[in-house]
Structure 1
Amino acid sequence: MRSSLLFLAASLAVSIPTFAAEPKDYLPIQIGSEWTSTAAFVAPSGNKTTGTGQRKIAEKVELDGKTYYRTRTKLEGGASLVEYSKLIRKDAAGLYSLPDGVAGAKEQLEIPMPLTAGQTWQTVAGTVTITSTMVGVETVTVGKKTYKECLHIRVASADQSYQEDYWEAPVVGTVKSEIVSTTMGKITLTLREYKAGK
């Protein structure tokens, strides 16, 4: 199993997704869209810190006859800086992702659509199998804002060393994420600002 930092980076590719735009469309992609989240860290030792999570859709990338969008993600304020980019695209079946600049990497269906309660699917992060479950559709309040019809998705590693619950709102994207890792503790991300691209 690779290091917890790399595992977290791969997992955060899910936890700060890049969705925005039309009502009821959970998986649209717009160049220039930006998400800024407040990050609260609780280390295994109990030490608490705060930081910031940021994601931006940067540009289009043509690869193997397919059009992808490069997303850049950064999470700072915890024990280590997490920073990475990946390529994403979507079609009627859902959202696909591909590690950016990794030779031989294979595209994966990261989030199938449409989703139904209880539905499960799997992806691979390095050598680790990740199982995702569609928990249900819920209302989530973040600060003074309430988001209705959010998709609640739970992600867990095969050895249960990592679990994440995140909520995707129509138009806005990820509004909240709760991550629990046996090696890195707990990370809670709540949306602070969203800027739609054009």
Structure 2
Amino acid sequence: MSEYTDDCRAANIIASRLRGTVYALPKRLSKLGKPLGRPRRGKADLTAHQQRVLNYMREFLFANDQLPPYSELARHFGWKSLSTSQAFITRLAHKGAIERNQIGGWRFPRDHIHEEVAQATDWTTPTSYLLRFGDALQSLCRGRRPTEAMMCAWLDTDDEQLQTFCCDHGPSWAQGIAVIDAARVLADQPTEGPPHEYRND
């Protein structure tokens, strides 16, 4: 076989691995590296340091509405090279803790987010109006939750801090007051069954 044919065969093998079909590499092509296979799912096997990196990425996302760039990870953890950040991100991806989005950036897997929300919420437990109002605002404001004092000030005195918060963190096309009104409608309609607290206005 010519060298060109060997290169084509190697490229086809690597492409098939990326699609999830695994073929054995010929011995003469084994220098291309280990089989890629499918990434492992589940975060149970994260090391303590990988978990710290993942936790920081979550905190950064909630504060900045995006995952930290490689340079920010390197700065925060005191790494001297961006390749260390890239290596950590790659390991987290292989363990299923993060994934690529449609444009090639990194994001947290959607299935993990939905599982965590489902596990964290018990729909049979009575809730307070303030808790539901806060949950609704958090959903409408891209995961950012206003403080309890800010919500109470709005509900009791129509203080404008909450409206400003919703303008800053809610959908760009919505007015702050519209976000608050939507959250109040959601808070007023809890799941039937348990004796939830209602607000008497």
TM interval, shorter chain, is under 0.3
* Structure having greater relative contact order (Cα 8 Å, sep ≥ 6): 1
TM-score by length of 2: 0.21
Greater CA radius of gyration, 1 or 2? Answer: 2
TM-score by length of 1: 0.21
Q: Which has the higher strand share?
A: 1
Q: Which has the higher helix share?
A: 2
